[in-house]
């Protein structure tokens, strides 16, 4: 008997046993299609490795195509870097938080900036009154940056900064902070995210239009490749794509397509690919699909090696994809939140088995508010336990050779490569972004995921199954937004009084000229920041040349409703909407809005498209509206309800302002206000006292939310 016959006989026997045990006619009934459209079989064998297209079965860690890891020794020599992402309130408070974490075993810093800083506004700007210090640390000048790193030696500490919109003044502030610590820029190590393309797709903390934004990216790559040999000039990020709803194939493909575009931008500066490629890094999200996430990281390394070889890279380091990972934020639930500790632990293990170089583990309470010291300690210790107690650092790529993992890695690679080729046919990622193609595909994926959760076809423990009848109370961190803003404004006033205004004006004028003459903008930004120009002043100087970008709001339709054909709850809500139309001569109209500088619009988009599929007339407000703008739109469009989406903790400032503007504009108007997003339960009564009619936290079932809204609108309309 040949080996092949023996294998076939064994598979036949297994299939018969499987069908007998499961009482089904065919094994095919147990094939499940993933979000990525990959069929997951109940068994994998050596046969699945016979026709691999991208994966080389005999590859080794640290060798082409780096599927098994960028380094030969991986964690056996040194474990991944624990790099917790944090920042809130003032630079003083964040500095204290950083130093505590470093003393407790954290090895690198990862800085979260507040939304005004991301969007290039100073804290005293009236457009940002509800956002200062809320979702990150407020940085207005280099003096704030110096406080942020007080007693943290920048020649010894690797610093990662998530910054894209105001990347020039922030990186300049970091460089000048180093200078004033007597640390030269050639000694600074770390990473600036500098990934603007994904901002236009999902996160929306952009400032300028795509073309000048890409010039800024290239300027930073050029400058750092020549002046900062230890510093990574870009972190090409898929994280926010998955957070916005992208499946793993979309995240993988669009991230690498972004990388291709950035390589081209750097080459346009006359740089040889091997000059800058070793300092490129990546950033991926790690969700709860355990094996898919492992395969994604292996596929990313494999594809990037191929891409860089095609660019003519010769150095081994130019071919290696190095990545930071962060556990999923969107997988965290407000309901039964201690389950999030378990989710994060398995996501962290997935990132480690996939071969990440550094890792952030989310705190369990981040679906409710900013993490407390205690929840941050648990998140950090999750990694310390993985490193020191589980044995995962003893073997390099322990899942290599798994029939399932190798097959899955190859299938992910194929599907991602097909999408990359589609982007190339559109003329590259900048043109694809301008056309809105990636954004719409990600929004469609997000809506499908939400529909699966709401319909129960995807189980989320504690949310749509195995619910906890006794929800635990969780302590949350509270930021006094008004105090933080007042403190920042006082510091700004002091700096403006003490600086040499002529030097500031001259350096800002030079920056404007450099923007017009296509010079390297980082050089001139450093001069301006050194003279104590503010983040907002540098950003507005560039805005005077480039303009400020305003995105068009696009949305998908029909995607949510497809998952509920024949569903009784869905039809009940639709019927209520039909009855309302018969009674009042028009359909209930809802305006869904984001206020302040919070650009995370996944939730708002899902609510808008699902409510429309249910039968509401839905208007989607543009991003970054003020409460006054929202009221104007609501009255002009004669809406019955305003739905406010909030993910950046600005609800206690922005919602009362909305109510005030609504009352001033039309005292007799009876528009219903409902609020959804990350809102601590302790803030619910405050919002109800502001006459908010309904509050929907993370994990809320959209059909149930829609029914509550139509009932409120109907009741309110009958009163009229």
- Residues 503/479, Cβ–Cβ less than 8 Å: no
Q: Please say if 75 is a catalytic residue.
A: no
Q: How does pLDDT run across 630-686, given as a tens digit for each residue? A: 999 999 999 999 999 987 667 888 899 999 999 898 777 789 999 998 888 888 999
Q: Please say if 431 is a catalytic residue.
A: no
Q: Please say if 44 is a catalytic residue.
A: no
- What is the number of alpha carbons within 13 Å of residue 152 lying toward its C-beta? 28
Which of these is catalytic: 118, 324, 594, 605? 594
Q: What percent of the chain has pLDDT over 70?
A: 97
Ramachandran angles phi, psi of 91, nearest 5°: -60, -35
pLDDT of 2 higher than 70? no
- Cβ atoms within 10 Å, residue 637: 13
- The mean of the pLDDT values for the chain is 92
- What is the number of alpha carbons within 13 Å of residue 677 lying toward its C-beta? 27
Mean pLDDT, residues 256-282: 94
What pLDDT shows up at residue 448?
93
Which of these is catalytic: 600, 605, 640, 652? 600
Which of these is catalytic: 118, 240, 296, 491? 240
pLDDT of 3 higher than 60? no
What pLDDT shows up at residue 650?
74
Which of these is catalytic: 98, 206, 208, 239? 239
Terminal-to-terminal C-alpha distance of the chain: 85
Mean pLDDT, residues 323-339: 94
What pLDDT shows up at residue 649?
66
Cα 261 to Cα 163, 215, 236, 309, 429, distances in angstroms: 18, 12, 11, 15, 6
Q: Please say if 239 is a catalytic residue.
A: yes
What pLDDT shows up at residue 88?
66
How far apart are alpha carbons 68 and 399 in whole angstroms?
9
- With tokens 């990959």, the residue in question is 38
Q: Please say if 240 is a catalytic residue.
A: yes
Q: How does pLDDT run across 124-153, given as a tens digit for each residue? A: 998 898 889 887 899 999 999 999 999 898
Q: Please say if 373 is a catalytic residue.
A: no
Rounded to 5°, the CA angle 132-137-142 comes to 105
Q: How does pLDDT run across 100-122, given as a tens digit for each residue? A: 878 877 667 888 899 999 999 99
Q: How does pLDDT run across 366-416, given as a tens digit for each residue? A: 888 778 889 989 999 999 999 999 999 999 999 999 999 999 999 999 999
Helix axes 248-267, 403-425, angle to 10 degrees: 50
Q: How does pLDDT run across 525-546, given as a tens digit for each residue? A: 999 999 999 999 999 999 999 9
Which of these is catalytic: 41, 44, 85, 633? 85
Q: What percent of the chain has pLDDT over 90?
A: 76
pLDDT of 486 higher than 80? yes
What pLDDT shows up at residue 478?
72
Alpha helix locations (H) across 531-563? 535-546
Mean pLDDT, residues 234-246: 95
Ramachandran angles phi, psi of 283, nearest 5°: -150, 115
């Amino acid at each position: 008997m040949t080996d092949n016959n023996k294998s076939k006989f064994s598979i036949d026997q297994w299939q018969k046993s499987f069908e007998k045990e499961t009482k089904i006619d065919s094994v095919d009934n147990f094939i499940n299609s993933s979000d990525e459209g990959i069929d997951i079989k109940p068994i994998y064998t050596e046969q699945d490795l016979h026709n691999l297209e991208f994966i080389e079965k005999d590859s080794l860690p640290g060798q082409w195509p780096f599927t098994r890891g960028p380094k030969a020794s991986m964690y056996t020599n040194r474990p991944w870097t624990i790099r917790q992402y944090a920042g809130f309130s003032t630079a003083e408070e964040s500095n204290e938080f950083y130093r505590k974490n470093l003393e407790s075993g954290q090895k690198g810093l990862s800085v979260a900036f507040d939304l005004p800083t991301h969007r290039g506004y100073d804290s005293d700007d009236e457009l940002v009154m509800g956002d200062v210090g809320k979702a990150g640390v407020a940085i207005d000048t280099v003096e704030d940056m110096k406080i942020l790193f007080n007693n943290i030696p920048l020649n010894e500490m690797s610093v990662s900064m998530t910054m894209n919109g105001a990347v020039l003044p922030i990186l300049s502030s970091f460089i000048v902070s180093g200078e004033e610590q007597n640390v030269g820029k050639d000694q600074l190590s770390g990473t600036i995210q500098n990934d603007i393309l994904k901002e236009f797709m999902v996160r929306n903390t952009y400032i300028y239009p795509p073309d000048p934004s890409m010039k800024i990216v290239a300027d930073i790559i050029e400058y750092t490749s020549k002046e900062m040999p230890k510093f990574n000039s870009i972190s090409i990020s898929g994280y926010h794509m998955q957070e916005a709803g992208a499946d793993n194939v979309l995240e993988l493909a669009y991230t690498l397509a972004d990388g291709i575009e950035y390589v081209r931008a750097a080459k346009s500066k006359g740089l040889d690919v091997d000059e800058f490629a070793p300092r490129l890094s990546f950033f991926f999200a790690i969700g709860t699909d355990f094996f898919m996430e492992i395969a994604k990281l292996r596929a990313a390394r494999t594809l990037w090696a191929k891409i860089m070889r095609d660019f003519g890279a010769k150095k081994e380091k130019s071919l290696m994809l190095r990545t930071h990972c962060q556990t999923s934020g969107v997988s965290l639930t407000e309901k039964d939140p201690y389950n999030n500790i378990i989710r994060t632990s398995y996501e962290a293990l997935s990132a480690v088995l996939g071969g990440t170089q550094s890792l952030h583990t989310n705190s369990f309470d981040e679906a409710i508010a900013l993490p407390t010291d205690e929840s941050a300690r648990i998140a950090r210790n999750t990694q310390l336990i993985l490193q020191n107690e589980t044995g995962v650092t003893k073997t390099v790529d322990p899942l290599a050779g798994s029939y399932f993992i190798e097959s899955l890695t190859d299938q992910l690679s194929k599907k991602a490569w097909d999408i990359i080729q589609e982007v190339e046919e559109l003329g590259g990622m900048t043109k694809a972004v301008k056309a809105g193609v990636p954004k719409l595909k990600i929004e469609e994926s997000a809506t499908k995921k939400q529909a699966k959760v709401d319909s129960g076809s995807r189980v989320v423990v504690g949310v749509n199954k195995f619910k906890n009848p006794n929800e635990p109370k969780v302590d949350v961190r509270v930021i006094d937004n008004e105090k933080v803003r007042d403190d920042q404004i006082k510091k700004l006033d002091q700096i403006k009084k003490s600086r040499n205004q002529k030097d500031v004006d001259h350096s800002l004028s030079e920056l404007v000229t450099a923007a017009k003459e296509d010079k390297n903008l980082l050089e001139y930004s450093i001069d301006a920041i050194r003279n104590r120009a503010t983040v907002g002043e540098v950003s507005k100087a560039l805005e005077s040349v480039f303009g400020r970008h305003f995105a068009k709001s696009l949305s998908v339709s029909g995607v949510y409703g497809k998952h509920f054909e024949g569903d009784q709850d869905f039809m009940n809500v639709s019927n209520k909407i039909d009855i309302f139309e018969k009674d009042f001569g028009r359909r209930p109209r809802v305006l869904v809005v984001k206020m302040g500088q919070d650009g995370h619009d996944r939730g708002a988009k899902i609510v808008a498209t699902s409510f429309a599929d249910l039968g509401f007339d839905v208007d989607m407000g543009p991003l970054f509206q003020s409460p006054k703008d929202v009221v104007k739109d609501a009255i002009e469009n004669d809406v019955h309800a305003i739905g406010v989406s909030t993910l950046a903790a600005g609800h206690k400032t922005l919602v009362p302002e909305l109510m005030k503007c609504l009352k001033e504009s039309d005292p007799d108007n009876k528009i219903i206000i409902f609020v959804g997003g990350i809102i601590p339960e302790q803030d619910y009564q405050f919002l109800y006292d502001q006459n908010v009619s309904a509050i929907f936290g993370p994990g809320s079932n959209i059909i149930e939310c829609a029914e509550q809204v139509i009932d409120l609108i109907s009741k309110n309309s009958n009163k009229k």
